[in-house]
């Protein structure tokens, strides 16, 4: 284990909080405890933390479960496919993505049909990235490349990088340009990308400031960086306390809220920072199940009433800025 200082202010002090690991992704971690430090500047991080070598033991070989889709019910898979079709249509009708040529009447009817879901995504803080022509996009922590395949099919020139050899092999098997390793060692050209995306990956890296500085180097002037992070300032984190699933020690080394994520981006040299939040119902319910199991010592799972209430509550909390997922967007100065 190693001891580190706050990446935002350099302080080594703060308030300690012991967090148990539930083994949500790796049963071998279950039962261990880890310490989170909340710095006087307000930032929360794991300290002490595993070294770069030690952390490998905390990731299962299948960090991206291959059975994820097959484990869903037929109804779940049907709704997932329907959601993909609707999102593709929303990209084409509202965000400038290329699609099949249609008459103005068909396009008007299509926009009317898709508008409720378009509004829902915007209200929930899940805006879609506008199309950039033949723009280049890099996904850091891309896993097996599901997002890259989706965006490649709609015109983006896509690239990825991931630490998992299993995930990289899967991505490469479908023709994706994905490198194994991290962004600091990937060696991409300067001023090359229009967008660099971190979808729940930045909290895993050992040096977020240096990683974002590298993202700034490889972005074109005016290019965007997108961060999707667990929101440590969320109502979900406050409600479930130590049993919020997104603490996920020791894999999550840093815990951001809207203020600390904006500060991090500014330290890395970005401008025009904008933050929003949303909440995944599955994350909320996962935390609830964790609470039932470890606090109430019960094997019961969430019921249908909680599932429906959580859906509405998560939507409202996300819109108000207290959602469990944080989205931060910033630009490289022109």
**pLDDT class for 121, splitting at 50, 70, 90?**
confident
Q: What gap in Å lies between CA 308 and CA 304, rounded to an integer?
A: 6
- pLDDT single digits (tens) 123-162: 777 777 777 777 999 999 999 999 999 899 888 999 999 9
What whole-number distance in Å separates Cα of residue 232 and Cα of residue 119? 26
Tell me the residue length of the chain: 334
Is residue 208 scored above 70 in pLDDT? yes
130 phi-psi bin (left φ>0, alpha ψ -120 to 50, beta other): beta
Q: Is residue 26 predicted with pLDDT exceeding 80?
A: no
Chain-centroid distance of CA 149 in Å reads: 17
Q: How much is the pLDDT for 65?
A: 44
Check residue 100 and give its pLDDT: 78
Lowest pLDDT segment from 118-132, 195-209, 246-260: 118-132
pLDDT at 27 over 70: no
State residue 29's pLDDT score.
64
Using CA of residue 97, residue 102, residue 104, residue 108, what is the dihedral sign? negative
Q: Note the pTM of the prediction, 2 decimals.
A: 0.86
Give yes or no for residue 235 having a pLDDT over 80.
yes
Question: Which of 178-182, 280-284, 292-296 is most confident?
Answer: 178-182
Q: If you average pLDDT over residues 266-288, what whole number do you get?
A: 86
What pLDDT score was predicted for residue 102?
A: 84
Domains of the chain, residue spans: 15-64+128-332, 74-124
State how far the Cα of 171 lies from the Cα of 165, in Å rounded to an integer. 10
Looking at every residue in the chain, the average pLDDT score rounds to 87
Which of 19-23, 284-288, 303-307 has the weakest average pLDDT?
303-307
Is the CATH code 3.40.50.300 the one for domain 15-64+128-332?
no
Query: Is 298's pLDDT higher than 60?
Result: no
Do residues 266 and 215 make contact, with C-beta atoms less than 8 angstroms apart?
no
Place of tokens 């950039």: 132
Is residue 94 within 8 Å of residue 130, measured between CB atoms?
Answer: no
pLDDT tens for each residue of 71-119: 456 777 788 788 888 888 998 888 888 887 788 888 889 999 998 888 8
């Amino acid at each position: 284990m190693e001891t580190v200082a706050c990446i935002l202010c350099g302080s080594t002090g703060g308030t300690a909080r012991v967090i148990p690991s539930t083994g949500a992704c790796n049963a071998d971690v279950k039962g261990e405890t880890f310490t989170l430090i909340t710095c006087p500047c307000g930032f929360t991080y794991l300290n002490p933390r595993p070294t770069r070598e030690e952390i490998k033991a905390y990731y299962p070989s299948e960090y991206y479960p291959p059975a994820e889709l097959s484990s869903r019910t037929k109804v779940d898979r049907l709704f997932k496919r329907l959601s993909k079709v609707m999102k593709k249509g929303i990209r084409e009708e509202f965000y400038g993505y290329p699609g099949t040529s249609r008459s103005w009447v068909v396009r008007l009817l299509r926009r009317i049909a898709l508008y409720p879901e378009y509004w829902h995504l915007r209200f929930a803080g899940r805006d879609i990235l506008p199309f950039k022509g033949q723009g280049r996009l890099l996904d850091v922590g891309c896993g097996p490349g599901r997002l890259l395949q989706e965006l490649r099919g709609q015109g983006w020139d896509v690239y990825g990088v991931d630490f998992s050899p299993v995930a990289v092999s899967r991505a490469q098997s479908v023709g994706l340009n994905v490198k194994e390793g991290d962004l600091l060692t990937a060696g991409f050209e300067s001023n090359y990308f229009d967008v660099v995306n971190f979808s729940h990956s930045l909290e895993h890296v050992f040096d977020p400031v240096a990683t974002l500085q590298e993202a700034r180097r490889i972005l074109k002037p005016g290019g965007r960086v997108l961060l999707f992070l667990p929101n440590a300032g969320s109502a979900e984190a406050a409600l479930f306390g130590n049993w919020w699933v997104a603490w996920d020690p020791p894999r999550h080394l840093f815990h951001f809220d809207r203020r600390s994520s904006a500060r991090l981006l500014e330290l890395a040299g970005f401008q025009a920072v904008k933050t929003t939040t949303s909440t995944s119902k599955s994350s909320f319910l996962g935390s609830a199940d964790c609470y039932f199991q470890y606090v109430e010592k019960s094997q019961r799972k969430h019921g249908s009433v909680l599932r429906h209430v959580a859906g509405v509550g998560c939507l409202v909390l996300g819109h108000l800025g207290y959602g469990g997922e944080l989205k931060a967007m910033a630009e490289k100065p022109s």
